[in-house]
A = this chain, B = another copy of it.
């Protein structure tokens, strides 16, 4: 699996069509429950969306190796999931497989991209050009995948105007203005925690509906704004929990083994 980043760019295909989110299930229109505002448009599980993105990357790797079709089993193991789960995930976006054969790699790629809204580029702004912000601004993997970084912001006067990754840093008070005029879709917050909420507010003011937050704080946003957080400290703590759990399991297993052996049992 020789993944080569920078998958050229098949960002072609303006595909003026709608993302075609399925909404009907087995029995779509039966008035059971009718929970007031039955906006049952949202049908594809959040967890599945995350995996679709993984499949997409695996697929692009396979396409590079010249694969034309792929079975659910292959794709699933490559993506590290159960094949049944993969098929169910794919079934949410339509039926693009051929029984007895598998899926056509490029068809599947296009369809997943469409559902994920990747046919249109989503412009990104990064706020807080410190250690992390520099890494993000310089990272080539985002533009290459349809997420061009089109604005940088900071408060530090020494940074304003300096180009980072080919883009000059602007002052945070221009966030609403610039985001609105450049039609920024996604704001990335890499400021210190204390500044994150204020920055977020400015982004929302500028019409940004999606925020990726690296600062370890819980952001407060209006309902129509989607926030995802990446919290490395929490990731480490989850891992730490597993260390502790495993250690304890080892201990209890050892005592169990000791007990067993003292009983003459075989473990």
> A interface vs B, CB < 8 Å?
1-5, 18-19, 21, 39, 41-42, 46, 49-50, 53-54, 56-58, 78-80, 115-118, 120, 122, 124, 131-132, 134-136, 138-139, 141-142, 145-147, 185-186, 192-194, 197, 209-212, 216-218, 220, 224, 226, 228, 230-249, 251-252
Can you identify 29 A-B contacts, CB atoms within 8 angstroms? A1-B197, A2-B194, A3-B216, A3-B217, A5-B193, A18-B248, A19-B244, A41-B249, A49-B238, A54-B231, A56-B237, A57-B233, A116-B241, A117-B243, A118-B240, A122-B243, A131-B134, A131-B135, A132-B135, A132-B139, A136-B232, A142-B236, A146-B240, A186-B239, A210-B240, A210-B243, A212-B232, A212-B236, A226-B246
Copies of this chain per assembly: 2
Contact of A53 among B4, B57, B197, B237 (CB under 8 A): B237
Give every chain B residue within 8 A of A209 (Cβ-Cβ).
242-243, 246
Q: Which 6 A-B pairs have the closest CB atoms?
A: A117-B244, A131-B135, A210-B239, A80-B218, A53-B237, A53-B234
Give every chain B residue within 8 A of A193 (Cβ-Cβ).
3, 5
Give every chain B residue within 8 A of A242 (Cβ-Cβ).
209-210, 226
A191 to chain B, nearest CB (A): 12
Contact of A218 among B4, B58, B145, B185 (CB under 8 A): B58
Closest B residue by C-beta to A246? B209
Interface centre among A58, A124, A193 (most CB of B within 10 A): A193
A251 adjacent to B18 (CB under 8 Å): yes
Contact of A244 among B57, B115, B186, B237 (CB under 8 A): B115
A80 to chain B, nearest CB (A): 4
Whole-angstrom distance between the alpha carbons of A115 and B238 in the complex?
10
B194 adjacent to A3 (CB under 8 Å): yes
Known: A135-B135, A218-B54, A240-B117. A233 touches B3 (CB 8 A): no
A235 adjacent to B230 (CB under 8 Å): yes
A212 adjacent to B230 (CB under 8 Å): no
